[in-house]
Chains A and B, each alone.
Chain A
Amino acid sequence: GAVVSQHPSRVICKSGTSVKIECRSLDFQATTMFWYRQFPKQSLMLMATSNEGSKATYEQGVEKDKFLINHASLTLSTLTVTSAHPEDSSFYICSARGLAGKYEQFFGPGTRLTVL
C-alpha cells in the first residue's frame, strides 16, 4: 500500500517552454502533497505544500509564479514549471500524506528535468 507515482520520470525541454509533472497517490487518498527539489549531491529541499482544493503554500524563496502547483483531487497534484530555464534543471520529487497518518509521507520516484 501507499504507492505514489510520478509522470514523467524524465523530461527534456527547450528553454522557455513549460513542463507539467504529475504526482498521483495510487491506493490512498492524499490530503496533503509535497513537492521537493534536489540538486546533485544535495538533500531534498521542500518547495511547497498543497492541500486538496486549496492554494499551495510555498517555502521562502520559491517563486509561486514559476512553479505552479495544482491539487485538484485527493489523488492528483501537478507541478508546472513555467518558462523553464537551464537553472531549473533538477530532480523533482513529490510525496503524499494520507488521512490516516499526519507524520509520514510517501514518496514518488522523482522526475528528472533537463532544460536545454
Chain B
Amino acid sequence: AQKVTQAQTEISVVEKEDVTLDCVYETRDTTYYLFWYKQPPSGELVFLIRRNSFDEQNEISGRYSWNFQKSTSSFNFTITASQVVDSAVYFCALSSPSGTYKYIFGTGTRLKVLA
C-alpha cells in the first residue's frame, strides 16, 4: 500500500528558530518520487522539491534543506532561521508505479512562525 504520514498536525515556532517537518512514506516500489509543496493562505500549491528514490543526497536551497533516508523511509524538511513568511501548510507527496503515478498526499503540517 502507498501511504504518506505527516505526524505533525501543527507546529508553532518563534521567528529565527529552526524547524523540521517530518514525512514518512510507504511503498513497495523501488522507483518512486517524493515531493514537498507549500500552501500559503492564498491556496496555491508552491512546488519546493522533487526527489527520486535513487538519489539519497541531501539537498539545500537557501534556508531550506531536505534529508532523504531510505533506511527509515523518511523525507524530512528543515527550515533554518524561520521567518513569518514561512507560515503555511506544507504537504509531502509520493508518486509511484504501484499507485499508478497518482499523488499520495500526507495530511499536511501547518507551520506558524510567530514574530
Q: Which of A4-59 contact B (CB under 8 A)?
A: 34, 38, 41-44, 46, 49
Total interface residues on A, using CB and 8 Å?
Answer: 21
Among B42, B44, B110, find the residue whose CB has the most chain A CB atoms closer than 10 A.
B44
CB neighbours (8 Å) of A104 from chain B are 33, 35, 50, 95
Q: Is the CB of A44 within 8 A of B105?
A: yes
Q: Is the CB of A43 within 8 A of B44?
A: no
Total interface residues on B, using CB and 8 Å?
Answer: 22
Q: Which of B90-115 contact A (CB under 8 A)?
A: 91, 95-96, 101-103, 105-108, 110
Among A95, A105, A106, find the residue whose CB has the most chain B CB atoms closer than 10 A.
A105
CB neighbours (8 Å) of B43 from chain A are 38, 91, 93, 109-110, 112
Q: Which of B26-42 contact A (CB under 8 A)?
A: 32-33, 35, 37, 42
Q: Is the CB of A46 within 8 A of B95?
A: no
Among B33, B45, B52, B106, find the residue whose CB has the most chain A CB atoms closer than 10 A.
B45
CB neighbours (8 Å) of A97 from chain B are 101
A residues contacting B by CB (< 8 A) are 34, 38, 41-44, 46, 49, 91, 93, 95, 97, 102-107, 109-110, 112
12 further A-B contacts with Cβ under 8 Å, apart from A104-B50, A109-B43, are: A43-B108, A44-B103, A102-B101, A103-B33, A103-B50, A103-B52, A103-B96, A105-B95, A105-B103, A107-B37, A109-B42, A110-B43
